[in-house]
Amino acid sequence: MKELYSCFNGYRKQLVLGPLFKLTEAILELMVPLLMADIIDVGIRNGDRSYVVTHGLFMLLLGAIGLGCAMICQYFAAVCAQGFGRSLRQKLFRHVFSLSQKEYGAIGTDSLITRLTSDVNQVQTGVNMFIRLAVRAPFLTVGSIVMALLIDWKIGLIFLISTPLIVAVLYVIMSRSVPYYTRIQKGQDRISRLAGENLEGVRVIRAFSRQESEVRTFDAAGDELARLTVYVGKISAALNPITSVIVNLAIVAIVWFGARFTDSGVLEQGQIIALVNYMTQTLLALIVLANIIVILTRAVASARRVAQVLEQKTSMEDVPQSAAAKEKAPSIEFSEVSFRYHSGGDEALEKISFSIEKGWTLGVIGGTGCGKTTLARLLAREYDVTSGSVKIDGTDVREYTLEDLHRKVGLVPQAAMLFSGTVRFNLKMGNENATDEALWQALETAQGADFVRSKPDGLDTVIEEGGKNLSGGQKQRLTIARALAKQPEILVLDDSASALDYATDAALRKALRQNTRGMTVVMISQRASTIKNADRILVLDDGRMCGFGTHEQLLDQCEVYREICRSQKLIREEDAQ
């Protein structure tokens, strides 16, 4: 939670002054019943009009000052809560970027989104309410009791009996309802998740005619949320009648005993009215206090969820400075590399060893789930190896700063990911300083220049969220161009041409060969035709390396490779024997 306090930096003044102004308003509010008692007992009883008017005007003045204090407090609360929320959101967002894939996987993307949005909002509301009401409500409760005791300690005893009774009722109702608020919060998270997932995958849902069943799931989640909310509403509905009964009985007791004390000259009528006012104030303050406790309980739960992320340290330590690359060392070298995902299960890669020289093309092939993407992730250090080492230019990837490493390795992931903006904006993500000429060059190599040129706005063509307005193949070409614009030393294409037709795929490979001289290319593919001309081919089978060599060598020596080529009709049946 310590991490959260620093978000008050710059707003500590409002955090302290806000409650102080509210306290001033509460003190003035406590004085009003006393003034009223004076007006009745002195002014009205003696028929002293000027007393009534001056005291009445004084009451108005107190009211005006109180209003001013309340408005200043409200302003400070808004400034502090908004400022705090903004800092917290920024801090959390920045921190999330510093986490590695391992932590993303452990916390979950949905959960991170909820923490960044609704949890931060809850904490922000909590801060606002804390400034406005957390000091005022308990002060008014205690102050009303003290004032009653000061007017008459015997009548004050009625306050000392009724207040704990009201507190007991509030406690029982809250202890039953608060756990439901946590469940309601979870229910709202579930509805957001379902809505997000369904809207995102609306095309798949339609294609599989799953609308009805998805609507039913969504309805069920909505019904459950409504059921919980109604149940909490029912419990809370008992609050007002029960507390009203207690307060009204207390008022009856005040009037009853007050009348007797008035007869005996111990109390004045105005004082009885003041006591009734204090009783009503006590009740209102206690109800506000109960609401604040609910809001603060939710805010603390949300603050813990946010703090949990902020306190999460990345498992991927960055070094302050990169170690030097070694001359004449292989461009990429895997030595006895094994890797297991944090979620457990078998090793995704097992004792992989190979190396390739600078400027070579490495083809990686194998069945689904054999570890091709994992290999690319280890090279770009999205994860750290479980054992063994991955070296680039003779230096372990862990000895480069992450920034230097990401500059060296351009990874084009399997799922093409584009951001809303323009073509230029997306391509420049690879290299902010790239000229238009360099961007067109990257597009030419990635076989994307023609389709961008065909758009009236060229590089300024608008790309919708996630690249929705582009075809799968167009998206892939732009992601390849984005990586090329970075001019990395190593380009990793993780099945990045899977949506391209054979002719475009062949043109892409030819352009890569011609335009990326000196660049080491790792080409992961399910298609043997895509990688067959690579300088070396790595064949993976269920996380193990079962072949490494040229196409011809592998046809000679590797049964799995021969089988892949045969199944894809790259070689004739009899050659595979």
Ligand X SMILES: Nc1ncnc2c1ncn2[C@@H]1O[C@H](COP(=O)(O)OP(=O)(O)OP(=O)(O)O)[C@@H](O)[C@H]1O
**Binding positions for ligand X, rule: CB under 6 A:** 105, 341, 343, 345, 348, 366, 368-374, 414
Q: Tell how far CA 336 is from the center of its chain.
A: 38
Please identify, using beta-carbon distances, which residue of 157 and 546 lies nearer to ligand X: 546
Give me the helices (H) in 100-135, please: 101-107, 109-114, 120-129
Q: Who contacts 96 (Cβ-Cβ below 8 Å, separation ≥6)?
A: 112, 116, 309
| Beta carbon of residue 397, minimum distance to ligand X (angstroms, whole number) | 17
- Residue 68 Cα distances to 55, 64, 144, 191, 194, angstroms: 20, 6, 22, 42, 46
Please identify, using beta-carbon distances, which residue of 372 and 566 lies nearer to ligand X: 372
- Is 339:383 a contact under the CB 8 Å cutoff? yes
Please identify, using beta-carbon distances, which residue of 209 and 343 lies nearer to ligand X: 343
Please identify, using beta-carbon distances, which residue of 414 and 553 lies nearer to ligand X: 414
Please identify, using beta-carbon distances, which residue of 289 and 365 lies nearer to ligand X: 365
Please identify, using beta-carbon distances, which residue of 347 and 444 lies nearer to ligand X: 347
Please identify, using beta-carbon distances, which residue of 243 and 374 lies nearer to ligand X: 374
Please identify, using beta-carbon distances, which residue of 105 and 201 lies nearer to ligand X: 105
- Is 489:408 a contact under the CB 8 Å cutoff? yes
Please identify, using beta-carbon distances, which residue of 298 and 377 lies nearer to ligand X: 377
Q: Which residues of 189-206 are buried (b: 16+ CB within 10 A; e: fewer)?
A: bbeebbeeebeeeeeebe
In whole angstroms, what is the distance from residue 450 CA to residue 87 CA?
A: 44
**DSSP secondary structure string for all residues of 547-572:** EEE-HHHHHHH-HHHHHHHHHTTSS-
In whole angstroms, what is the distance from residue 522 CA to residue 411 CA?
A: 9
Angle at 122 between CA 118 and CA 124, to 5 degrees: 115
Please identify, using beta-carbon distances, which residue of 102 and 183 lies nearer to ligand X: 102
Q: Would you tell me how many other CB atoms lie within 10 Å of the CB of residue 560?
A: 19
Q: Would you tell me how many other CB atoms lie within 10 Å of the CB of residue 361?
A: 22
For 240, phi then psi, to 5°, come to: -65, -50
Please state whether beta strands 409-412 and 421-422 pair in parallel, antiparallel, or not at all (unpaired).
Answer: unpaired
Alpha-carbon torsion, ordered 224, 229, 235, 238, to 10 deg = -140
| Beta carbon of residue 480, minimum distance to ligand X (angstroms, whole number) | 17
Please state whether beta strands 409-412 and 490-494 pair in parallel, antiparallel, or not at all (unpaired).
Answer: parallel
Please identify, using beta-carbon distances, which residue of 372 and 398 lies nearer to ligand X: 372
Q: Who contacts 233 (Cβ-Cβ below 8 Å, separation ≥6)?
A: none
In whole angstroms, what is the distance from residue 165 CA to residue 148 CA?
A: 17
Please identify, using beta-carbon distances, which residue of 87 and 373 lies nearer to ligand X: 373
| Beta carbon of residue 370, minimum distance to ligand X (angstroms, whole number) | 4
Q: Which of 79, 107, 81, 80 is nearest to 95 (CA)?
A: 107
- Which residue's entry shows tokens 């993307």? 109
Q: Who contacts 185 (Cβ-Cβ below 8 Å, separation ≥6)?
A: 118, 122, 298, 301
| Beta carbon of residue 322, minimum distance to ligand X (angstroms, whole number) | 27
| Beta carbon of residue 101, minimum distance to ligand X (angstroms, whole number) | 7
Please identify, using beta-carbon distances, which residue of 134 and 497 lies nearer to ligand X: 497
Q: Which amino acid, 225?
A: L
| Beta carbon of residue 121, minimum distance to ligand X (angstroms, whole number) | 30
- Is 472:416 a contact under the CB 8 Å cutoff? yes
| Beta carbon of residue 345, minimum distance to ligand X (angstroms, whole number) | 6
Give the three-class secondary structure for 317. coil
What's the half-sphere exposure (Cβ side, CA atoms, 13 Å) at 353? Answer: 5
Structure tokens that stand for 154 in this block:
């015997």
Please identify, using beta-carbon distances, which residue of 238 and 499 lies nearer to ligand X: 499
Q: Who contacts 208 (Cβ-Cβ below 8 Å, separation ≥6)?
A: none
| Beta carbon of residue 493, minimum distance to ligand X (angstroms, whole number) | 13
- Which residues lie across from 524 on neighbouring strands? 364, 494
Please identify, using beta-carbon distances, which residue of 134 and 500 lies nearer to ligand X: 500
| Beta carbon of residue 374, minimum distance to ligand X (angstroms, whole number) | 3
Give the three-class secondary structure for 329. coil
Q: Which of 140, 164, 157, 155 is nearest to 275 (CA)?
A: 155
Please give the helix or strand (H or E) that residue 337 lies within, else none. Answer: strand 332-339
| Beta carbon of residue 563, minimum distance to ligand X (angstroms, whole number) | 16
| Beta carbon of residue 542, minimum distance to ligand X (angstroms, whole number) | 8
| Beta carbon of residue 348, minimum distance to ligand X (angstroms, whole number) | 4
